[in-house]
Structures are given as structure tokens and as C-alpha cells.
């Protein structure tokens, strides 16, 4: 479970890897982040949307098909934790 990883200063969306993959798909880094989470069975993504345009942008992420190379780059840049970790308090 992730809690507000984008909201913590937006660092995730400034990731060079996320931006590179997004450019290949003519998408936003946020769309790629949502698409990356949606690829896994049993995982959902609940992105924030402050207006209708953002809702549409988030919904469009479901149509992004990440290639094996995209997934390998993203998985290397954002490895899964190897142990349980506490969540930062906002």
C-alpha cells in the first residue's frame, strides 16, 4: 500500500525515468505511474483528481500499455521494498 507518494512534494512525477517513459507514450508522468500500478493483478490505483480534466487524464492511463522495457526501467528505478516499512506522516 502506498499513501500519497505523489503528494509528498511531487518528487515522483519529476523522476527522469518516469518522464522518459511518459514521453515515449505521449503521456504524462502521472498517467504512466497509474498505468504502472494497474498492470498488476489485485492492485488498484486511486489517484487524486481536483477537476474534470484531471479525472479524464487519470482515466486515460488505463489505455497505456507499458512495454517490457518500460516495466524493467520503472521497476529498476522504483524497486519494491524488501521489508515492511512505516509510512511517513503528512
The Cα-based distances of 43 to 3, 24, 27, 28 in angstroms read: 14, 24, 21, 21
**Residue 6: band (very low, low, confident or very high) from pLDDT cuts 50, 70, 90:** low
Structural domain boundaries in the chain: 11-77
Tell me the pLDDT tens digit for each residue of 9-57. 477 888 999 999 999 999 999 999 999 988 888 888 888 888 999 899 9
C-alpha gyration radius of the chain = 13
DSSP 3-state of 18: helix
Amino acid at each position: 500500500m502506498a499513501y500519497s507518494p505523489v503528494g509528498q512534494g511531487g518528487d515522483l512525477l519529476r523522476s527522469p525515468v518516469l518522464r522518459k517513459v511518459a514521453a515515449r507514450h505521449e503521456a504524462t508522468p502521472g498517467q504512466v505511474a497509474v498505468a504502472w500500478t494497474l498492470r498488476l493483478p489485485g492492485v488498484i490505483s486511486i489517484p487524486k483528481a481536483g477537476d474534470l480534466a484531471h479525472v479524464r487524464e487519470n482515466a486515460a492511463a488505463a489505455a497505456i500499455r507499458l512495454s517490457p522495457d518500460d516495466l524493467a526501467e520503472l521497476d529498476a528505478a522504483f524497486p519494491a521494498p524488501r521489508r515492511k516499512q512505516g509510512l511517513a506522516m503528512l
